[in-house]
Amino acid sequence: MQYLRVKGSHAINGEVTVPASKTHSFRALILASVAEGTSTIRKPKLSSDWNEAMKAMSLYGAQIRQPEPEIFQVTGVAGQLQTPADIINVNNSGTMLAFVAGIAGACPGWTILTGDESIRTLRHISKNMIAPFEQLGVTVISTKGDGMAPFVIKGKVNGGQARMHGIGCQPVFSVLIAAALSEQPVELYVEHPGETAYIDLLLYWFDKVGLAYENVGGSYEHYRFPGNRVPQAFDETIALEWSAPPYPLLAALITPNSEVKVRGMDLSDPYGDKRVIYALQQMGADLTIEPDCLTARTSQLRGIELDMNELPDQLPTIAIAACFAQGETVIKNTLTARWKECDRIAAVCTELKKMGAKVTEKEDGLIIHQDGSWKLRGGSVDGYYDHRMVMALSVAGLAIDEELIISDAQMIEKSFGQYVREMKAAGAHFELFEA
């Protein structure tokens, strides 16, 4: 296991380069693999998750080549998905679980789909895909009978009508993908839709590859698919990852004499995590947003009440910001944060309490009571095998006096592989070590 040692840093200054979006990369790979023709994906986010996704789509018959280090050419199956010859293991990627389940729902053969302990024991939300798939003629077996992986799935969706609960976006992804690939019309009704900004990102990619749909009334409660031909091939350079800038930007906000710039972000990107920069502005951040540059400077933050349903992945980041703000911060409507790589609500609450914070855990969020009577302190904290937990805690460590040791630092690679290097170049006192 890798650990990250963090020491208080008196100034964080410079430009931090962020990676390509793993979220866009997955969508591009999945849709290229079922398309007609050969797609070119330029500068995707390379990681162990990307490698497993390539293996999965190859098992369905896609041909994937890498003619240059950052270019992948994907010849799709043109709608003729083959039965995977092996089990598909998504490790701890809930997004990949959802996307591959969607492909399994479009495949006439059997798929066996599993993942790591977090996928098999924490992703309770996965059960929400079972009923709508069954209504559309897909066989879905949760082998433990608990609605979580391992799954055995046999398609395929080819017309029909279904209803489902939409509190978490990932099961909705699965059904939308299978419905979009149906040759016959499909109608999907979604009760209590949540995390809709992440749904927008999938619909953005449907538009890009020519998959017809209607989000009736723009409500995310009723989708109509007229019956589609196979997706069309494309040539796309992957946008930069919007979940990455908050870490270096927050580091600048809460450390003295700091200024950090992040360049190249696409402000028109529908990715929901983009909204975290506006949340930080709401908290009083001196954060300048320009078309090609985000600039954060040392700031005095203030507590706010924030509905984070559209950006639950950023709960750890905002919780850390709240510890350095004046007044109370209420994070609400983010129940789905409990079903990520870890239960992020419980994990953030536990680790911040270890560090001396006054925090109240709620079912759908947290309250950070920063009344000025406490400051975070160092020690040893758990990264929960979760990249976002490790990075958020590392930012906190830059603004406290004592040393902070964070476990599971190897997980940073999942979304921001160069994070430690980039932050050290900007002045962060980071040290990776094995134990």
Just list the catalytic residues: 313
The per-type count for the chain, helices as H runs and strands as E runs, is 14, 25
Q: Which of 168, 112, 158, 163 is nearest to 138 (CA)?
A: 158
Secondary structure E strands in 133-276: 139-142, 151-154, 160-165, 186-191, 214-215, 222-225, 235-237, 259-263
On whether the CB atoms of residues 166 and 222 are closer than 8 A, the answer is no
353 annotated ligand-binding residue: no
414 annotated ligand-binding residue: yes
Using DSSP bridges, classify how beta strands 186-191 and 222-225 pair: parallel, antiparallel or unpaired: antiparallel
8-state DSSP, 83: P
313 annotated ligand-binding residue: yes
On whether the CB atoms of residues 312 and 364 are closer than 8 A, the answer is no
**Residue 71 tokens, joined:** 């270019």
| Alpha-carbon distance values, 251 to 6, 218, 257, 301 (Å) | 12, 37, 11, 12
Provide DSSP, 163-197: EEE-SSHHHHHHHHHHHHT-SS-EEEEEES---HH
388 annotated ligand-binding residue: yes
94 annotated ligand-binding residue: yes
Angle between helices 315-323 and 344-354 (to 10 degrees): 20
In angstroms, the CA 161 to CA 62 distance is 29
297 annotated ligand-binding residue: no
27 annotated ligand-binding residue: yes
**Residue 175 tokens, joined:** 């059904």
**Residue positions in the annotated binding site for 3-phosphoshikimate?**
22, 27, 170, 313, 340
**Residue positions in the annotated binding site for phosphoenolpyruvate?**
22, 94, 170, 344, 388, 414
**Residue positions in the annotated binding site?**
22, 27, 94, 170, 313, 340, 344, 388, 414
